[in-house]
Structure 1
């Protein structure tokens, strides 16, 4: 009977480990049949007892209709301006985008002096609306306003609604009237919509500004809607 030297057995074990395939142990790994492989992505309900329902399985039609109702409700708040947190609490940029595109399309190809290439183009109106809104928002933040950036953009964008309605009315007036009568009617409509937009925006933004700096915030808003109103008033369809 011969006894193996301890050092020799250790060397033999090292040789076996070297010759062993790197992933040899993976063949012994298996998944039990009673363990499900697929996952479940359901969203758990809140623990506070609210009747919140996950929208992951909601049809696309229901989602679109819910968003459209939310946009329509904000339009109602703008047309009937009062101190409300609806535009600030549930802000979105769908309404401002829709109004901006509609206004730009109605101003497309118009001119104030009869030249077909002198009117505001789509990109120009788009840049004026959004760049002006951003400048007013930055001015509000620098003056110490407590409103967030996108909340301010939401309010300023939604408050273009009276001016967009005025643009539609002016186009209808231009179809039936011309000359001084047409200008007087359009002047009254645009002036009323300009005052409405300015009043609505300040009604929503007033409480978020310091009391001693509200005039510095309202003045850029006044200029912003005045420029848009001037574009609407000077619009005339090109021939």
Structure 2
């Protein structure tokens, strides 16, 4: 801490010519080049490549915390919607080509269906949480719900790989199991991050819509991954 001597002239409230002396402590890390309040770096002068790599690294870090949900405050400190957008777009692209061979549809409705379910569903769940007295912001909740789609996305990829083999009851059971594991994983991860935002007596009311949200998406994965 740096101590700075502060002198104020009391020409209005005190006697003429009198001064008030004191000391003001300024954190040592808050000064840069002699100026108070300057950030450690200026993003306006930062190269585009460095900005993109930094953002991708932040998204990857959040994905890691979803896979191993131990740090509860990670997704809430600096929320973003890049990860949810990438997951939603990827799932929509995969599911749009998963219709039957006799379906002449170009896959447009499936693409829109995923976007509507993910974004509108996450907004409804978030509004429910806010109405129950949740102490996090709207976009923080949408960010967590979107990032926690990662287990469901992984389940979708595994199901599509399984479909490369000849269809059978055993393979359907495996795909069903994989999808349910993704559902449980996504629900658990989201409750870890959002659980503390609700009062103890209302956690069940907040968790139920979250589980329903991920169950619908998981069922969408099962029903659309058919030969």
TM-score exceeds 0.5: yes
- Structure 1 residues 83, 127: closer, same or farther in 2, change over 3 A? same
CA distance, structure 1, for counterparts of residue 100 and residue 207 of structure 2: 29
**Corresponding residue to 1:65 among 3, 28, 53:** 53
Structure 1 residue runs without a partner (length 5+): 1-43
Question: Of the two structures, which has the highest relative contact order with CA contacts closer than 8 Å and spacing of 6 or more?
Answer: 1
Q: Give the TM-score of the pair, scaled to structure 1.
A: 0.76
C-alpha offsets along residues 153-189 of structure 1, whole Å, 9 cap, x if unaligned?
A: 0000000000001101100000024121210110111
CA distance, structure 1, for counterparts of residue 106 and residue 199 of structure 2: 41
Is 1:131 equivalent to 2:120 in the alignment?
yes
- Matched residue pairs, number? 194
Offset of residue 121 of structure 1: 1.2
CA distance, structure 1, for counterparts of residue 105 and residue 219 of structure 2: 18
Is 1:226 equivalent to 2:215 in the alignment?
yes
Q: How does 1:208-227 map to 2 (within 5 A)?
A: 208-227=197-216
Q: How does 1:191-206 map to 2 (within 5 A)?
A: 191-206=180-195
Question: Which residue is 2:5 aligned to?
Answer: none
Is 1:54 equivalent to 2:46 in the alignment?
no
SS of the residue aligned with 1:176? Answer: coil
Q: Runs ≥4 in structure 1, deviation > 6 angstroms?
A: none
Q: Give the TM-score of the pair, scaled to structure 2.
A: 0.80
- Structure 1 residues 183, 169: closer, same or farther in 2, change over 3 A? same
Q: How does 1:28-107 map to 2 (within 5 A)?
A: 47=36, 52-107=40-95
- Structure 1 residues 116, 199: closer, same or farther in 2, change over 3 A? farther
CA RMSD of aligned residues (A): 2.2
